[in-house]
Structure 1
Amino acid sequence: MYFRGYSILNILGHSSVRFIIVGAIATMTHAVMAMILLSFDRDLSVLKVNTAAFLIAVLVSYAGHALYTFKMSGSLYKYILTSIICLFINNTVAFVFDHIAKSKPVAIAVGMLVAPIVGYAISRKWVFSDRQNTKS
């Protein structure tokens, strides 16, 4: 099957598309884990639930990117740092756009669009770079 002259398999084979697929799976993992944690104890703080679910999603995301997106091992420490940076960017953009647009859904959506672009660039150039994976 082709789309504008490109094979669907070629499109799905591009690392940016694979990054989106893995990111969607990690996002679903985050949401499901948060719901599971809340089902055990509705009185848990949002911060605790969100942080625990985020950490689980980061591990799922790292494994997916190492095995599927970039097909090479990367530094888990660098990936966690990248994830924290992306979380900070996401929250900062959402905070700013909440004050500009006065719409929380719009603010969150913009943050969710900006942070993954930064995350992809950092992951590709730093976390999963060919330089760090070459054997001397």
Structure 2
Amino acid sequence: MRRGLKASILAVASTVLFTACGTESPKEATEKFYTSLKNGDVATYKKYSTETTQRLMGLTFTMGCFNKDLKQESELSACMKDIFKDMSSFKVLDVKDNNKVSATVIVEEKTKDGVKNNTLELQKLDEQWKVSIKK
């Protein structure tokens, strides 16, 4: 009985410990966000972006793909792929944790037109890092 209780306590403690350590970093969230844009992965894009970011980028998608019904996930996916087709690669250059719920990430984007660095702000909402574009 005691051995079973100890094993149960150890199992619960391990689960809590690994869950707490398993949260993604701002770098990982940024990489998943960028990959989702490049691949047209709408679900992942929404998971790693705030609602404000989705609204603002929605304007970009509307302007870039004005002939598509972007309420349809398949057409939004095709639009994302089309808009980001010239981005050959990206790389997270630097991450600055501002505090427990805010981070600044610098990303290098390589396109056919050259290389540029973007600075992104991330917010941690409900234990999930999300790209937060506000302007």
- Shorter chain as denominator, the TM-score bin is under 0.3
Q: For CA contacts below 8 A with separation 6 or more, give which structure has more relative contact order.
A: 2
Whichever structure has more helix as a proportion of its residues is: 1
TM-score using structure 2 length: 0.26
Which structure's residues are more often strand, by fraction? 2
